Amino acid sequence: MSKETIESSAAAIAGRVGARELSAAEVTEAALGRIAASDDAVGAYLTVLGDGAREHALRVDARIAGGESLPLAGVPLAVKDNMCLTGTRTTCGSKILENWIAPYTATAVQRLLDAGCVPVGKTNMDEFAMGSSCENSALGVTRNPYDLSRVPGGSSGGSAAAVAAFEAAIGTGSDTGGSIREPGAFCNAIGFKPTYGRISRYGLIAFASSLDQIGPLTRTVEDAALAYDAMAGFDPMDATSVDRPVETAATHLRRDLKGVRIGIAREFDTAKLGAESHACYARAYRDLEALGAELVEISLPTADYGLATYYLIAPAECSSNLARFDGVRYGLRVEGDDVQAMYEATRAAGFGAEVKRRILIGTYALSSGYYDAYYVRAQKARTLIAADFAKAFETCDLIASPAASSPAFEFNAKSDPYSMYLMDYYTIPFSLAGLPALSVPCGWVTPEGGSSPMPMGLQLAAPLFEERALLGAAHAYEVATSHATRHRPRLAEVAK
Amino acid sequence: MASDSIDVRYVAKLARIALTDEEVERFGAQLGDLLEHVRALEKLDTGSVAATAQVIASRNVERGDDVRGCLDRETVLEQAPQRQGAFFRVPRIIAAE
């Protein structure tokens, strides 16, 4: 199979497999070959499925032979390692689950398999999805395919890097404060977080339940729409999944932005991101206008409180969710003299520093005497942030902003936890309001001291449940600007 | 908003995480720094604002009281760190006396 095929879009692969020009088995073999050639350098995967993937592929080919029409036939799928896939190791990037084998499959993953995807591996991530660089993984290092000395972003950095390095066409991600959009921006990918509740989280290991949402990472907007169409919709196994009809998105991709009002928040001053980034976003906004959009100045006066609000709510919820890792029913156990000592030793050995920090801050914020001062106040601030967005959307249809505070940075560049948190400054407010948002490539900037141009991401966001309008507009921008195809990942030296 | 410095040892006890002295010192400083940042919320007037419970309209979900399939016992127990027959085995909880 040609290099062009494995580097083509999920839509193109599915088209050729559906037309029986190619078999899912051939595509899978090519994807596994690409992983073998480049993943030692990239490190996107914690587990490569090999024969498991080949078996899935044969089943897809049998379904095609049986006359089934599959929207994602034979498409190589990378699954973030916080999502269950029966019989595969599902680690959450943590020592506490290092050897845990999922006994069932997450609904979102199952729906992609039903649509014809072939899972080729499980991808690296910041431990329990807490981080913005993948550096918090306890189990492996993932490098940015566009500059191996830089991080891929996080927490869904493994899936983003796999897609960028052509080691999969679709990656699943989960986004709590920016964990799909920021790695998407860092790796020249589309990173799409749908509305809270749109995609079932059954089988997703929980981090912060009022925020977590699954979504795709892909190389094209059309592929993101196809993956979304497959995954979205009510699931009785997730009590927070929304029982509301899903409007398919892949059938409504646009070529222009005529009649679309796009809000630019006066509070999001891109000048502070440096001259090159500022120019990049200024051009992106002009390009939206050139496609027919009307740019509207909006105000999000409480957006600046997003980080403070998030870093109370998310840790509070994680401290509760991660209480289940106690060494009793699954995962790591470290023995102690009594049950209390066993819990403490297990969690001390099983969790990394960032996870411990967040459990501690969350426990503190929820503890007696502090609950009202911290958690309740943050939930009130969240109400104000959501109200700001509702007001802004009275005068615009979409909001555009940077997707991350900088292009991909070098390893160990953010040793102070708060400096890492700042990467998600632009994505967090949208998460707090539950809004659908995505990152789409919008240009290239060579960071100071860097040797390669690195991809930049434009965040586009829409009102609740307006995924179709969001993806449609992102497609128009993507096709008109073609930023993503301007540079190739720097893997020539490894994938000989 | 509270201004007390965080008692890391006490909070770690509540969270069931054993910490080394070095971690107590490092996390104490880092969490103190984060609390300084979140104190920015004191500037927001939230007096008459309702706390967010959920961001999308949702209601309690109850399923019918029907028998459904579930994971079988062996599948679940085979990943237990320690088991005894059909049970999870844990350290002694009740004193011997």
Closest-CA residue to A161 (of A80, A3, A50, A42): A42
Distance CA(A81)–CA(A100), nearest Å, equals 11
Q: Which two tokens stand for residue A425?
A: 């400054």
- CA-based nearest distance B64→chain A, Å: 11
More confident residue, A367 or B1: A367
Mutate: best of B5, B21, B34, partner A, most A CBs <10 A: B34
Query: Does the distance separating the beta carbons of B51 and A379 come in below 8 Å?
Result: yes
Distance CA(A390)–CA(A385), nearest Å, equals 9
How high is the ipTM of this complex?
A: 0.94
Mutate: best of A240, A380, A384, A388, partner B, most B CBs <10 A: A380
What are the residue boundaries of the structural domains of chain B, listed by start? 8-43
Cα–Cα distance list, A244 to A192, A212, A400, B76 (Å): 19, 19, 26, 33
Question: What Rg, from alpha-carbon coordinates, does chain A have?
Answer: 21
Query: Does the distance separating the beta carbons of B38 and A312 come in below 8 Å?
Result: yes
At A492 the pLDDT is 61
Active site residues of A: 80, 155, 179
Number of C-alpha atoms within 13 angstroms, CB side, residue A9?
Answer: 18
Closest by Cβ to B63, choosing from A210, A236, A240: A236
Alpha-carbon dihedral B80, A48, A166, A187, rounded to 10 degrees: 40
What percentage of residues in chain B have a pLDDT greater than 90? 71
Distance CA(A41)–CA(A144), nearest Å, equals 9
Query: Does the distance separating the beta carbons of B76 and A103 come in below 8 Å?
Result: yes
The segments of chain A whose pLDDT lies below 70 read 1, 492-496
At B97 the pLDDT is 61
Closest-CA residue to A171 (of A135, A142, A148): A142
Domains of chain A by range and CATH? 3-260+395-486 (3.90.1300.10)
Chain A residues within an 8 Å CB radius of B66: none
| Cα torsion angle, A84, A85, A86, A90, sign | negative
Contact A358, A318 (CB under 8 A): yes
Question: ∠ at Cα A315 (A359, B27), nearest 5°?
Answer: 50
| Cα torsion angle, A223, A226, A230, A234, sign | positive
At A444 the pLDDT is 98
Nearest CA in chain B to A105: B71
- CA-based nearest distance A15→chain B, Å: 36
Alpha-carbon dihedral B37, B40, B46, B52, rounded to 10 degrees: -30
Interface list for B 22-81 with A (CB within 8 A) = 23, 27, 30-31, 33-35, 37-41, 44, 46, 49-56, 58, 60-61, 63, 71, 75-76, 79-81
Across B26-35, average pLDDT:
94
The DSSP symbol for A257 reads -
Across B51-72, average pLDDT:
88
User: Position A45: which residue type?
Assistant: Y
Q: Which two tokens stand for residue A319?
A: 């401290």
